[in-house]
Amino acid sequence: MNSPLLSAPGAVAPFDGNPDQGVPWHFGDPFAEQRSAARSVAVFDRSHRAVLAVPGEDRLTWLHSLTSQHFTALGEGRGAEALVLDVQGRVEHHVVAANVGGVVYLDTEADRAAGLLSYLTRMVFWSKVEPRDASAELAVLTAVGPELAGLFGRLGVPLPDDVAALDGGGFARRMPWPGHDAVDLVVPRPALADWWRRLTDAGARPAGSWAFEALRVESLRPRLGVDTDERTIPHEVNWIGPAVHLDKGCYRGQETVAKVHNVGRPPRRMLLLHLDGSREVQPETGDPVLVGDRVVGRVGSVAQHHELGPVALALVKRSVSPETELVVGAEDRRVQASVDPDSVPPDTPGLGREAARNLGR
């Protein structure tokens, strides 16, 4: 469904084929929008995300049995990410959850919602739960920036530590990405434009999906169906920890999660690539990553970052050294690329953020 904010002053719609159809792509200056999110505060329309609702007294134990997250430990006013895996441990669905007011809300990519709801409905059996699509009732806005506290103070809304109900319906959910300061506002869909006006009147800069995606890429956070393919397991894309709780079992795909975590390493790893910006062309999602003529990976999200320049997330074979010069793209979209060493997962000896922390001890 198209957001009413596409008619907001300065809003520019995304191009055909962009995965963020239905919401503004930018408001005239996507780099300034990124800078506002990094230095002050910006608000993003993410109302194209689907929202599922799971009410019922068995909701936590039921979701605990179906997903990678420890839902039985998710008390009232708590949020988390979670995955649904197939029997081989490959990612089928990713959700961001909130347990508030006796309901667990799950928001996800719009094109995956029908499949997820169908799976959940099939798995109800005798459990006291009633999963349903609540996308027509609720819409997602995201505020990002170090001045969140001031923004919420001017709104007269408490800044949540985790998840808190909003007066008039919906809830606010603290998020660890993009950046260090972010809050999702899941608001009644009929009040979407009113909430947008309140947020922008209180000082948040209007921002579009171009800027949000650039900040997400910088944060090394994958997007389902863009940075993942049909073979992706959670270890490859930084979902161990945020979306996979390792102190629980008895869910589909758990055996693969435990095996790879305890005795193996995933075959690929998600890396941040810096792209050569001297050409006007850039690779697209799904394009190959190459060493010479050998395909060693797959391009995911491609973004233009206000400080880093053209960047991309890519799934690359673990055997490829991070120092290797890469070429990414298909046909006439090929450009040179290099790996950002800070994006190398910490289980790679001598590199990555964990290694850097260890050096300082």
3-state secondary structure 266-305: CCEEEEEEEECCCCCCCCCCCCEEEECCEEEEEEEEEEEE
What tens digit of pLDDT does each residue of 47-82 get?
999 999 999 999 999 999 999 999 999 999 999 999
**Cβ burial 203-224 (10 Å sphere, 16+ → b, else e):** bbbbbbbbbbbbbbbbebbbbb
Contact 236, 244 (CB under 8 A): no
Q: Kindly report, residue by residue over 225-244, the tens digit of the pLDDT.
A: 999 999 999 999 999 999 99
**Is it the case that residue 354 has pLDDT exceeding 80?**
no
Q: In the structure, what pLDDT confidence band is assigned to residue 358 with cuts at 50, 70 and 90? A: very low
- The tens digit of pLDDT for each residue in 201-230 reads 999 999 999 999 999 999 999 999 999 999
Of the pLDDT bands very low, low, confident and very high (cuts 50, 70, 90), residue 9 is: very high
Of 263 and 343, the structure prediction assigns the larger pLDDT to: 343
| Residues whose CB falls within 8 Å of the CB of residue 348, separated by 6 or more in sequence, listed in order | 269, 322, 355
Of 54, 59, 57, 55, residue with least CA distance to 71? 59
Terminal C-alpha separation, the chain: 51
Residue pair 318/269 in contact (Cβ under 8 Å)? The answer is yes
Phi, psi of 209, rounded to the nearest 5 degrees: -65, -30
Closest CA to 277 of 351, 328, 316: 328
Name the band, by pLDDT with cuts 50, 70 and 90, for residue 179: confident
pTM of the predicted protein model: 0.94
Domain boundaries, the chain: 4-49+136-219, 267-343
Rg, the chain, Cα only = 20
Q: 93, 103, 41: which is closest to 71 by C-alpha?
A: 103
- Mean pLDDT, rounded, for 88-92: 97
Better pLDDT: 105 or 277: 105
Architecture of the domain defined by 267-343: Beta Barrel (2.40)
Q: What are phi and psi of 184, to 5 degrees?
A: -85, 130
What is the rounded average pLDDT of the residues 303-321? 96
| CATH code of the domain made up of 4-49+136-219 | 3.30.1360.120
pLDDT for residue 180? 85
Q: Is the pLDDT of residue 141 over 50?
A: yes
CA dihedral 320, 325, 330, 334 (to 10 degrees): 170
What mean pLDDT is reported for the chain? 94
pLDDT at 356 (0 to 100):
40
Residue 348 is predicted with a pLDDT of 56
CB 281 within 8 A of CB 301: no
d(CA 187, CA 276): 40
pLDDT in tens, 19-35: 999 999 999 999 999 99
Q: Which helix (H) or strand (E) holds 48?
A: none
Banded model confidence at residue 331, pLDDT cuts 50, 70, 90: confident
Phi, psi of 243 (to 5 degrees): -120, -10
> 4-49+136-219 and 267-343: same fold?
no
The pLDDT of 124-135, averaged and rounded, is 98
Q: What is the rounded CA–CA span in Å between residue 331 and residue 161?
A: 48
